Amino acid sequence: MSRAFNFSAGPAALPEAVLRQVQSELLEYKNERASLMELSHRGQAFIDCAAQAERDLRDLMGISDDYAVLFLQGGATTLSALLPLNLARPEQTVDFVLTGHWGEKALENMKPSVNVNVAATAKEGSYRSIPARDSWQLTKDAAFLHYTPNETIHGVEFHDTPDVGDVPLVADFSSNILSRPVDVSKFGVIYAGAQKNLGPAGVTIVIVRKDLLGKHGRNLPPIFELQNQVKNDSMFNTPTTFSWYVIGLVLQWLKQQGGATAMEKQNAEKARLLYSAIDGSNGFYTNPIELHARSWMNVPFVMANADLDKAFLKESEAAGLLGLKGHRALGGMRASIYNAIPVKGVQALVDFMQDFAKRNG
């Protein structure tokens, strides 16, 4: 065994205990005499597995029966295209608060279906902060307000849930779902691609307040109607069964770890360790994000001397620290430190960074 610490932004590290369980039952799931990959989604074994994952997610996040919980295909990007079709009449407006790349993408995917209003954006400042709440230019009677609680590329995170009154909050939690407790009742929709904090790629979690659905007045293809997925327990068509199953194992692992509260404590500690190393490097490393908006999940950083990037990436990889190359839009480095990265993984990264700085400073 020579598994390394994997700081990929997504798909991303999974708990080793989960991978070992998947491996042990890969050819025969429980008493089914077949791999889970081979089981019908209509059979009892998979239905039980899927329902357990939903129950565990409801438990972990405190999701009430006012909300449906879906395990869909298509990624958060597809969801962002489907959300205005399902939640807004064509003449309505959707408000956006933009704090990075993924918020922009969501806006592009909603624009053909609804009026859009950028209520606030931090683009002029190259997405280094979160616009103050009192500066937001909200639309009266907006269908919903969309924002991205954690921007994976820019490394900008909301550390509180904004208050926008009665307008439903719709939030892309792809990169920080279950990284800390969140009050679901404050949201209209929480959605998240699974491949960062929850499991392998191929499933998009959608937590949607049921009363928001079915009022759009549009003639949609049935497969675009989220209500059809609600009525069919996410099996209006064949779901990504294997990814759903692995997510279920990750959720069980999260419960064993102590749930969102335990994750919050650990993630705060990991973020403290890494930002302290950056801030304490006398400018060798820098993170550009304003303190109030620094992400606990994705930490981009650059070196004063960018010529060292190649050496940093080569040596860190050799040291068992993978996936540290920054997104091509920003360059430099990025460490994604999701739930499955333990404190000792971040400590190993910090140790390497300090040693590298000493040798090259």
> Rounded to the nearest whole angstrom, what is the least distance from the CB of residue 65 to its own copies in the complex?
27
Q: Which is nearer to its own copies, 79 or 130 (CB)?
A: 79
Binder among 115, 224, 257, 360 for its own copies (CB under 8 A): 224
Query: Using the rule CB under 8 A, is 80 a contact of its own copies?
Result: yes
Query: Using the rule CB under 8 A, is 212 a contact of its own copies?
Result: no
CB under 8 Å to 241, separation ≥6 — which residues?
36, 37, 39, 41, 46, 50
Q: Is 196 considered catalytic here?
A: yes
Q: Which is nearer to its own copies, 28 or 66 (CB)?
A: 28
Distance CA 242, CA 46 (A): 10
- Scanning the structure block, which residue is given the tokens 């990436």? 313
CB 168 within 8 Å of CB 119 = no
Q: Which is nearer to its own copies, 179 or 241 (CB)?
A: 241
Distance CA 42, CA 137 (A): 47
Stretch in the footprint of its own copies (CB under 8 A) among 131-139, 237-245, 263-271, 292-300: 237-245
Tell me which DSSP letter residue 62 carries.
T
Segment 262 to 301, residues that bind its own copies, using CB under 8 A: none
Segment 138 to 197, residues that bind its own copies, using CB under 8 A: 193, 195
Query: Using the rule CB under 8 A, is 11 a contact of its own copies?
Result: yes
Instruction: Give, in order, the Cα–Cα distances in Å from 133 to each of 7, 46, 125, 161.
Output: 32, 44, 16, 11
Name the CA dihedral angle for 121, 126, 130, 132, rounded to a multiple of 10 degrees.
-60
**What type of residue sits at position 215?**
K
Token pair for 211: 């009363």
Query: Using the rule CB under 8 A, is 91 a contact of its own copies?
Result: no
> Rounded to the nearest whole angstrom, what is the least distance from the CB of residue 76 to its own copies in the complex?
8
Q: Is 172 considered catalytic here?
A: yes
**95, 172, 244, 325: which one is catalytic?**
172
Query: Using the rule CB under 8 A, is 75 a contact of its own copies?
Result: yes
**56, 95, 196, 325: which one is catalytic?**
196
Distance CA 11, CA 21 (A): 19
Query: Using the rule CB under 8 A, is 26 a contact of its own copies?
Result: yes
User: Residue 2, Cα to own-chain centre: how many angstroms?
Assistant: 27
Token pair for 113: 């279906």
Q: Which is nearer to its own copies, 20 or 133 (CB)?
A: 20
What residues act catalytically?
Answer: 102, 172, 196
